[in-house]
Amino acid sequence: MKKKVLVILAAMAVMGISELTAQTKIIAHRGAFKNTKLPENSIASLKAAKDLNLWGSEYDVHLTKDNVLVVNHDNDFYGIDIATSTYQDLLAKTHPNGEKIPTLEEFIKAGLKLKGLKLILELKTNKLGLERTLEATEKAVALVKELKAEKVTEYIAFSYDACKKIHELDPKAKVSYLNGDIAPDQIKKDGLTGIDYHLSVFTKHPTWLQEAKALKLTTNAWTVNAESDMKSLLDQKIDYITTNEPELLKTLLK
């Protein structure tokens, strides 16, 4: 009897510890680019996120006219429109640090070498329409599988259709929706695994964060750069914070 009680107490202690250590994780937004003065979405900024020992690094993926997936935030790379240009066209420009626009393949291969860093793949909505967005989605999921990067990759997108497509193509994939207009219960019903909403959404819908947690969805807020916002979300025990200021968030978590 005594032994049983001890076993139960030990199990409770372990559970308590894991609860305490379930700390909010930091995701660098477009790599650790701001304080390092590196180009956002460059391989250098991805490596800088690893140097800071962050949990993950977010990056943006577009599809060129000739079906090459590339990593960049805006619809254009220094003035060259991505959706209507070929990959070769994009090579006319480089980042200020000399890097060319990374292909998704190059980016993931670089990320796989940074052991332990999660790669948060944002599938961008293609300006030419849903069909192109879904083509980009299929190609991205296929490439992640081909490179055996499933375990380090989590997906995010503003397009709900893209999110559902990723889930359909890889039911085990972690997929969070970005646009902030769908309640947690619907996200759960559609098989997605998390919400990744603008920080204002959690103020507008003050119950959503805890509702999502109760449904075992992951919770993430973007783009959280102010100390007061970080503290408020840390108090609510949000799972992830996506930020341009990972150094600041690191000091708050210490």
Where does this chain bind Mg ion (CB under 5 A)? 60, 122
State the residue number with the nearest CB to Mg ion. Answer: 122
User: What token pair was written down for 152?
Assistant: 């380090």
CB of 105: closest distance to Mg ion in angstroms? Answer: 19
- The helix/strand/coil state of 48 is helix
**Closer to Mg ion at the Cβ: 60 or 211?**
60
Report the candidate in 3, 55, 101, 7 with the shortest Cα–Cα distance to residue 241.
55
Nearest CA-CA partner of 247 in 232, 217, 228, 227:
227
Could you tell me the two tokens for 42?
């460059």
Which CB, 86 or 223, lies closer to Mg ion?
223
For residue 163, the minimal CB distance to Mg ion (Å) is: 14
Nearer to Mg ion (CB atom), residue 122 or residue 245: 122
Q: What is the DSSP string of 51-114?
A: HTT-SEEEEEEEE-TTS-EEE-SSSEETTEESTTS-HHHHTT---TTSPPPPBHHHHHHHHHHS
**Nearer Cβ to Mg ion, position 36 or 57?**
57
**Closest approach of Cβ 176 to Mg ion, in Å?**
12
Taking the least distance from each CB to Mg ion, the nearer of 125 and 211 is 125
Nearest alpha carbon to residue 249 among 96, 229, 110, 236: 229
Rounded to a whole number of angstroms, the minimum distance from the CB of residue 100 to Mg ion is 20
Q: Helix, strand or coil for residue 188?
A: helix
Shortest Å distance, C-beta 59 to Mg ion: 7
- Calculate Rg over the CA atoms of the chain: 19
Min dist. Cβ of residue 72 to Mg ion (A): 10
Q: Which is nearer to Mg ion, 60 or 239 (CB)?
A: 60
